[in-house]
Protein backbone atom coordinates (compact mmCIF):
# COMPACT_ATOMS: atom_id res chain seq x y z
CA UNK A 1 0.00 0.00 0.00
CA UNK A 2 1.26 3.46 -0.89
CA UNK A 3 -0.10 4.94 2.33
CA UNK A 4 -0.69 3.36 5.72
CA UNK A 5 -4.04 4.52 6.96
CA UNK A 6 -7.34 3.40 8.42
CA UNK A 7 -10.62 5.27 7.99
CA UNK A 8 -12.87 2.82 9.87
CA UNK A 9 -12.05 3.43 13.53
CA UNK A 10 -14.37 3.29 16.55
CA UNK A 11 -13.58 4.94 19.86
CA UNK A 12 -15.31 5.31 23.22
CA UNK A 13 -17.69 7.78 21.57
CA UNK A 14 -19.56 4.69 20.35
CA UNK A 15 -18.68 1.01 20.92
CA UNK A 16 -14.88 1.21 20.75
CA UNK A 17 -12.66 0.32 23.69
CA UNK A 18 -10.16 3.22 23.51
CA UNK A 19 -10.30 7.00 23.60
CA UNK A 20 -9.58 8.87 20.37
CA UNK A 21 -6.22 10.06 21.70
CA UNK A 22 -5.17 6.52 22.61
CA UNK A 23 -5.95 5.48 19.06
CA UNK A 24 -4.00 8.40 17.58
CA UNK A 25 -0.94 7.54 19.66
CA UNK A 26 -1.20 3.90 18.60
CA UNK A 27 -1.43 4.91 14.94
CA UNK A 28 1.65 7.10 15.27
CA UNK A 29 3.52 4.26 16.98
CA UNK A 30 2.62 1.95 14.10
CA UNK A 31 3.79 4.41 11.46
CA UNK A 32 0.42 5.44 10.08
CA UNK A 33 0.22 8.33 7.63
CA UNK A 34 -3.45 9.01 8.39
CA UNK A 35 -6.21 7.99 10.77
CA UNK A 36 -9.91 8.53 10.24
CA UNK A 37 -12.48 8.20 13.02
CA UNK A 38 -15.89 6.78 12.11
CA UNK A 39 -18.19 6.68 15.12
CA UNK A 40 -21.47 4.88 14.58
CA UNK A 41 -23.95 7.62 13.71
CA UNK A 42 -27.20 7.78 15.62
CA UNK A 43 -30.17 5.74 14.43
CA UNK A 44 -33.14 4.26 16.25
CA UNK A 45 -31.92 0.75 15.42
CA UNK A 46 -28.43 1.39 16.82
CA UNK A 47 -29.14 3.76 19.71
CA UNK A 48 -27.77 1.33 22.33
CA UNK A 49 -24.20 1.55 21.01
CA UNK A 50 -24.06 4.40 18.50
CA UNK A 51 -22.94 7.94 19.22
CA UNK A 52 -25.82 9.91 20.73
CA UNK A 53 -27.16 13.15 19.29
CA UNK A 54 -25.82 14.96 22.36
CA UNK A 55 -22.29 13.55 22.11
CA UNK A 56 -21.80 14.31 18.40
CA UNK A 57 -20.62 17.93 18.96
CA UNK A 58 -18.16 16.75 21.62
CA UNK A 59 -16.88 14.08 19.22
CA UNK A 60 -16.27 16.66 16.50
CA UNK A 61 -14.50 18.97 18.94
CA UNK A 62 -12.26 16.19 20.27
CA UNK A 63 -11.19 15.02 16.82
CA UNK A 64 -10.53 18.63 15.83
CA UNK A 65 -8.35 19.07 18.93
CA UNK A 66 -6.36 15.96 18.12
CA UNK A 67 -6.00 16.95 14.48
CA UNK A 68 -4.34 20.20 15.54
CA UNK A 69 -2.26 18.67 18.35
CA UNK A 70 -0.73 15.92 16.19
CA UNK A 71 -0.69 17.68 12.81
CA UNK A 72 3.11 17.38 12.64
CA UNK A 73 2.93 13.59 12.99
CA UNK A 74 -0.22 12.28 11.30
CA UNK A 75 -3.26 13.38 9.29
CA UNK A 76 -6.49 12.98 11.26
CA UNK A 77 -10.03 13.00 9.89
CA UNK A 78 -13.47 13.11 11.46
CA UNK A 79 -15.96 10.78 9.80
CA UNK A 80 -18.95 8.66 10.72
CA UNK A 81 -20.32 5.24 9.94
CA UNK A 82 -23.94 5.72 8.96
CA UNK A 83 -26.33 2.79 8.86
CA UNK A 84 -28.87 2.47 6.06
CA UNK A 85 -31.70 3.00 8.54
CA UNK A 86 -30.33 6.23 10.01
CA UNK A 87 -32.35 9.26 8.96
CA UNK A 88 -30.20 11.82 10.79
CA UNK A 89 -28.60 14.64 8.73
CA UNK A 90 -24.87 14.00 8.49
CA UNK A 91 -23.34 17.22 7.21
CA UNK A 92 -20.17 18.63 8.75
CA UNK A 93 -18.04 15.46 8.67
CA UNK A 94 -15.01 14.75 6.52
CA UNK A 95 -16.52 11.54 5.14
CA UNK A 96 -19.27 8.98 5.59
CA UNK A 97 -18.99 5.19 5.59
CA UNK A 98 -22.33 3.82 4.41
CA UNK A 99 -23.16 0.44 5.93
CA UNK A 100 -26.03 -2.01 6.20
CA UNK A 101 -26.21 -3.71 9.60
CA UNK A 102 -29.91 -4.69 9.49
CA UNK A 103 -32.73 -5.83 7.32
CA UNK A 104 -36.30 -5.08 8.30
CA UNK A 105 -38.65 -8.06 8.21
CA UNK A 106 -42.30 -7.88 9.27
CA UNK A 107 -41.57 -4.58 11.02
CA UNK A 108 -38.64 -6.11 12.97
CA UNK A 109 -35.02 -5.05 12.69
CA UNK A 110 -32.85 -8.11 12.09
CA UNK A 111 -29.20 -7.42 12.93
CA UNK A 112 -26.81 -9.35 10.70
CA UNK A 113 -23.88 -8.27 12.91
CA UNK A 114 -25.00 -9.68 16.29
CA UNK A 115 -23.93 -13.30 16.80
CA UNK A 116 -23.94 -16.64 15.00
CA UNK A 117 -26.80 -17.86 17.18
CA UNK A 118 -28.95 -14.79 16.66
CA UNK A 119 -28.55 -14.75 12.90
CA UNK A 120 -29.35 -18.46 12.63
CA UNK A 121 -32.43 -18.03 14.80
CA UNK A 122 -33.61 -15.13 12.62
CA UNK A 123 -33.03 -17.12 9.42
CA UNK A 124 -34.96 -20.07 10.81
CA UNK A 125 -37.80 -18.01 12.29
CA UNK A 126 -38.32 -15.38 9.61
CA UNK A 127 -36.96 -16.98 6.43
CA UNK A 128 -37.81 -20.64 6.89
CA UNK A 129 -34.14 -21.52 7.18
CA UNK A 130 -33.32 -19.91 3.81
CA UNK A 131 -30.15 -17.86 4.33
CA UNK A 132 -30.18 -16.80 0.67
CA UNK A 133 -33.57 -15.14 1.16
CA UNK A 134 -32.14 -13.01 3.96
CA UNK A 135 -29.07 -12.27 1.84
CA UNK A 136 -31.17 -11.12 -1.10
CA UNK A 137 -32.98 -8.62 1.13
CA UNK A 138 -29.65 -7.48 2.58
CA UNK A 139 -28.04 -6.89 -0.82
CA UNK A 140 -31.13 -5.03 -2.05
CA UNK A 141 -30.45 -2.51 0.73
CA UNK A 142 -26.70 -2.54 0.08
CA UNK A 143 -27.39 -1.63 -3.54
CA UNK A 144 -29.02 1.59 -2.32
CA UNK A 145 -26.64 2.44 0.54
CA UNK A 146 -24.73 5.23 -1.23
CA UNK A 147 -27.91 7.07 -2.19
CA UNK A 148 -29.48 6.59 1.23
CA UNK A 149 -26.47 7.56 3.37
CA UNK A 150 -24.58 9.82 0.93
CA UNK A 151 -21.59 7.55 1.56
CA UNK A 152 -18.01 8.23 0.49
CA UNK A 153 -17.02 4.64 1.35
CA UNK A 154 -19.07 1.43 1.02
CA UNK A 155 -18.73 -0.40 4.33
CA UNK A 156 -18.20 -4.18 4.83
CA UNK A 157 -20.23 -5.03 1.74
CA UNK A 158 -21.07 -8.66 2.60
CA UNK A 159 -21.52 -8.27 6.35
CA UNK A 160 -24.56 -10.53 6.07
CA UNK A 161 -22.13 -13.47 5.82
CA UNK A 162 -20.19 -12.53 8.96
CA UNK A 163 -21.16 -15.75 10.74
CA UNK A 164 -21.56 -17.99 7.70
CA UNK A 165 -18.48 -20.06 8.48
CA UNK A 166 -19.81 -20.78 11.96
CA UNK A 167 -23.35 -21.51 10.76
CA UNK A 168 -22.40 -23.58 7.73
CA UNK A 169 -23.91 -21.18 5.19
CA UNK A 170 -22.26 -20.93 1.77
CA UNK A 171 -21.98 -18.15 -0.79
CA UNK A 172 -24.29 -19.92 -3.22
CA UNK A 173 -25.16 -18.94 -6.78
CA UNK A 174 -28.18 -17.03 -5.44
CA UNK A 175 -26.03 -15.25 -2.88
CA UNK A 176 -23.42 -14.21 -5.43
CA UNK A 177 -26.08 -13.18 -7.96
CA UNK A 178 -27.63 -10.86 -5.36
CA UNK A 179 -24.19 -9.48 -4.51
CA UNK A 180 -23.35 -8.88 -8.17
CA UNK A 181 -26.64 -7.04 -8.72
CA UNK A 182 -25.79 -4.75 -5.80
CA UNK A 183 -22.25 -4.14 -7.08
CA UNK A 184 -23.67 -3.23 -10.49
CA UNK A 185 -25.96 -0.68 -8.85
CA UNK A 186 -23.12 0.84 -6.79
CA UNK A 187 -20.35 1.04 -9.40
CA UNK A 188 -21.75 4.16 -11.14
CA UNK A 189 -21.35 6.16 -7.92
CA UNK A 190 -17.57 5.70 -8.11
CA UNK A 191 -17.24 5.08 -4.37
CA UNK A 192 -14.63 2.60 -3.07
CA UNK A 193 -15.54 -0.69 -1.44
CA UNK A 194 -13.58 -1.15 1.75
CA UNK A 195 -11.66 -4.37 2.21
CA UNK A 196 -12.49 -4.74 5.88
CA UNK A 197 -10.56 -7.06 8.21
CA UNK A 198 -12.89 -6.66 11.19
CA UNK A 199 -14.40 -10.13 10.98
CA UNK A 200 -10.92 -11.64 10.84
CA UNK A 201 -9.87 -9.66 13.92
CA UNK A 202 -12.89 -11.03 15.79
CA UNK A 203 -12.01 -14.59 14.67
CA UNK A 204 -15.38 -15.16 13.01
CA UNK A 205 -14.16 -15.00 9.40
CA UNK A 206 -11.07 -16.36 7.71
CA UNK A 207 -11.17 -13.73 4.94
CA UNK A 208 -12.01 -10.02 4.84
CA UNK A 209 -15.25 -8.41 3.76
CA UNK A 210 -15.98 -8.66 0.86
CA UNK A 211 -15.06 -12.28 0.21
CA UNK A 212 -12.58 -13.07 -2.59
CA UNK A 213 -15.50 -14.23 -4.76
CA UNK A 214 -17.16 -10.83 -4.46
CA UNK A 215 -13.87 -8.97 -4.84
CA UNK A 216 -13.49 -10.68 -8.22
CA UNK A 217 -16.90 -9.29 -9.19
CA UNK A 218 -15.95 -5.80 -8.01
CA UNK A 219 -12.71 -5.95 -9.99
CA UNK A 220 -14.46 -7.26 -13.11
CA UNK A 221 -16.94 -4.39 -12.98
CA UNK A 222 -14.26 -1.73 -12.47
CA UNK A 223 -14.69 -0.98 -8.79
CA UNK A 224 -12.16 0.67 -6.51
CA UNK A 225 -11.06 -0.42 -3.03
CA UNK A 226 -9.47 0.80 0.18
CA UNK A 227 -8.28 -1.09 3.25
CA UNK A 228 -9.74 -0.78 6.75
CA UNK A 229 -9.64 -2.71 10.00
CA UNK A 230 -13.03 -1.68 11.44
CA UNK A 231 -11.00 -1.07 14.59
CA UNK A 232 -12.69 -1.25 17.98
CA UNK A 233 -9.48 -1.85 19.97
CA UNK A 234 -6.17 -0.08 19.44
CA UNK A 235 -4.11 -3.28 19.26
CA UNK A 236 -6.09 -4.28 16.15
CA UNK A 237 -5.66 -1.00 14.29
CA UNK A 238 -3.87 -2.57 11.32
CA UNK A 239 -4.97 -6.16 11.84
CA UNK A 240 -4.76 -8.32 8.73
CA UNK A 241 -3.70 -5.55 6.35
CA UNK A 242 -0.91 -7.61 4.75
CA UNK A 243 -3.22 -10.58 4.22
CA UNK A 244 -5.96 -8.34 2.83
CA UNK A 245 -3.50 -6.73 0.41
CA UNK A 246 -2.37 -10.18 -0.73
CA UNK A 247 -5.98 -11.28 -1.34
CA UNK A 248 -6.69 -8.08 -3.28
CA UNK A 249 -3.63 -8.67 -5.44
CA UNK A 250 -4.72 -12.25 -6.14
CA UNK A 251 -8.10 -10.86 -7.26
CA UNK A 252 -6.36 -8.61 -9.77
CA UNK A 253 -6.34 -5.30 -7.95
CA UNK A 254 -3.31 -3.06 -8.41
CA UNK A 255 -2.10 0.11 -6.67
CA UNK A 256 -4.12 2.08 -9.22
CA UNK A 257 -7.33 0.54 -7.89
CA UNK A 258 -6.70 1.68 -4.30
CA UNK A 259 -8.42 4.89 -3.28
CA UNK A 260 -7.10 7.24 -0.63
CA UNK A 261 -9.71 9.78 0.27
CA UNK A 262 -9.57 12.86 -1.96
CA UNK A 263 -9.03 15.26 0.92
CA UNK A 264 -5.79 13.52 1.89
CA UNK A 265 -2.58 15.30 1.03
CA UNK A 266 -0.36 13.54 -1.51
Q: What is the pLDDT of residues 161-175, one digit of tens each?
A: 999 999 999 999 999
**Region 27-45 average pLDDT:** 95
* Architecture of domain 5-257 in this structure: Alpha-Beta Barrel (3.20)
Per-residue pLDDT, 263: 67
* Region of poorest pLDDT, from 47-56, 61-70, 154-163: 47-56
pTM above 0.85, yes or no: yes
Per-residue pLDDT, 260: 87
What are 59-94's pLDDT values in tens digits?
999 999 999 999 999 999 999 999 999 999 988 999
Band (pLDDT 50/70/90 cuts) for residue 3 is confident
Per-residue pLDDT, 227: 97
Per-residue pLDDT, 121: 97
Band (pLDDT 50/70/90 cuts) for residue 46 is confident
* Region of poorest pLDDT, from 3-12, 163-172, 216-225, 255-264: 255-264
Where along the chain do its domains lie?
5-257
What are 179-237's pLDDT values in tens digits?
999 999 999 999 999 999 999 999 999 999 999 999 999 999 999 999 999 999 999 99
What are 104-118's pLDDT values in tens digits?
999 999 999 999 999
Per-residue pLDDT, 58: 97
Band (pLDDT 50/70/90 cuts) for residue 48 is confident
> Which candidate, 76, 79, 77, places its Cα nearest to that of 95?
79
Per-residue pLDDT, 47: 79
Amino acid sequence: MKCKCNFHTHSTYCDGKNSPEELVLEAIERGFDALGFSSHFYSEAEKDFAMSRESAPRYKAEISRLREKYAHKIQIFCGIEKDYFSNEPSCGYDYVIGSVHYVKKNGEYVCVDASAGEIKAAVDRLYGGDFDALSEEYFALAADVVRKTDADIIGHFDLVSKFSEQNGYTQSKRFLAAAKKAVEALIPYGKPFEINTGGMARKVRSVPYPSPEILLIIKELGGKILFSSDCHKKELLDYGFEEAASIAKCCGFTDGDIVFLPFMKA
